[in-house]
């Protein structure tokens, strides 16, 4: 490795360390509790408790096991709250913080080990000719914008 490459490597390491420091410094201040949502839904701050909204006998049942407090799934949580608010009598939404006290039970119940949005018992769907899987980090195997069309298709299928 040349001296120029070594200098670049050192600069990149310093930048990485600084970014990790900023992440930890700001991470606790970023909170989904300020995000608008239907009444009764948990926001953030520490480990969020599990929360549900909508009738138990709704046409569509959504269980979202995501890190609610961590902003990495904020857009997913916002999209779920928005679509549930648009169809309050037809969607039952349960939010479980992936790191919260109920998460182990829900991971076993859903048979998953990573963040998952389960819609009527499924988390993989065909959307406009592509496969979307509502697991892991948003922006990977799905985009938060994929949730609305998949949920609305589920509503249509349910009658």
Q: Could you tell me the pLDDT band of residue 159, with boundaries at 50, 70 and 90?
A: confident
**Lowest mean pLDDT across 33-37, 70-74, 88-92:** 33-37
Q: Is the model's pLDDT at 22 over the cut of 60?
A: yes
What class has domain 32-158?
Answer: alpha beta
Say what the pLDDT of residue 34 is.
35
Three-state SS string over 89-135 comes to CCEEEEEEECCCCCHHHHHHHHCCCCCEEEECCECEEEECCEEEECE
Torsion over CA: 29, 35, 39, 42 (sign):
negative
Each residue's pLDDT tens digit, 23-44: 666 654 443 333 333 334 444 4
Domain ranges of the chain: 32-158
What number is the average pLDDT over the span 103-131?
A: 93
């Amino acid at each position: 490795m040349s001296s120029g490459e070594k200098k670049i490597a050192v600069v990149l390491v310093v930048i990485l360390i600084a970014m990790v420091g900023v992440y930890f410094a700001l991470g606790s201040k970023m909170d989904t509790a300020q995000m608008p949502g239907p009444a009764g839904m948990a926001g953030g701050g520490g480990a969020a408790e599990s929360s549900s909204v909508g009738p138990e006998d709704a046409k569509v049942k959504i269980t979202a096991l995501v890190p609610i407090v961590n902003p990495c799934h904020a857009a997913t949580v916002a999209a779920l709250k928005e679509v549930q608010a648009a169809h309050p009598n037809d969607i039952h939404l349960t939010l479980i913080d992936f790191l919260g006290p109920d998460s182990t039970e829900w991971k076993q119940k859903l048979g998953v080990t990573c963040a998952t949005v389960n819609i009527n018992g499924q988390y993989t769907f065909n959307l406009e000719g592509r496969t979307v899987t509502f697991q892991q980090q948003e922006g990977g195997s799905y985009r938060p914008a994929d949730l609305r069309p998949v949920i609305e298709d589920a509503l249509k299928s349910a009658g």
